[in-house]
Amino acid sequence: SVARQADVAIILAATSAGEGADRTSLHLDFGSDGLIAAVAATTRAVVLVQAPGTVLMPWQDQVSAIAMLFLAGEHTGNAWTSVVFGDQSPSGKLPIMIPRSAEAVIEPGESADVKYSEGLFTSYRAREAKALSLFPFGHGLSYTDFAFGVPSQVECDAFLCVKASIVNSGKVPGAEVLQAYVEFPPEAEEPELVLRGFHKTSVLALGESEELELAF
């Protein structure tokens, strides 16, 4: 009844892990999936997720927004407050893939002998990554918009250096992350895309730009 009376419901859901034991599933703790779905059926819902790694989000298409903080330490409350109330624009990018289902991740085993038969073809590097991911590696939205200039090669001491300009074209200050991926042809028998560089801008005011350079 409380949720029905609210214009927006903010749900803080979490899961934890320890060094002494593995997580038993990728679901959020304490029946949070059912709670989120029930609240989202009555009003607009915003979900704040705290987790040590990837989680399943079967309610993703039922809610208005999702923010993921992972584990932020003793200033977790301050961090959530600044983002929820718009004092800070989100600028983080996922360091993992959020899967569509449990079938999209490597099945855990109980044997002490672990064979990494997938090699490099895991997470965003998997051949079926686009189909398996709900939110891909490197994903992250902002309260503002950014325009990327055309990258250009510059001279440097590294094998290759590339620069690009990023402009805050939105309505509020914010920061963005330039990501660079190497693309391999199929005959190379390597993952199609591999992250090889990233650089975060400073907080840019409206209309402000910054030129970033990546070395390879």
Query: What are the residues facing 215 on neighbouring strands?
Result: 161
Higher pLDDT, 62 or 4: 62
**28-44 average pLDDT score:** 96
Q: Calculate mean pLDDT across residues 145-160.
A: 95
Q: Nearest CA to 193 among 122, 106, 124?
A: 124
Query: Over the range 22-50, which residues count as b (16 or more CB within 10 Å of their CB) and which as e?
Result: ebeebbbeeebbebbeebbeeeebbbbbb
Q: Please say if the pLDDT value at position 107 is more than 70.
A: yes
pLDDT (mean) for 141-158 = 96
Tens digits of per-residue pLDDT, 75-93?
Answer: 999 999 999 999 999 999 9
Q: What are phi and psi of 194, to 5 degrees?
A: -135, 125
Each residue of 169-207: pLDDT tens digit? 999 999 999 999 999 988 998 998 999 999 999 999 999
Burial class (CB in 10 A: 0-12, 13-18, 19+), 193: middle
What pTM was estimated for this model as a whole?
Answer: 0.90
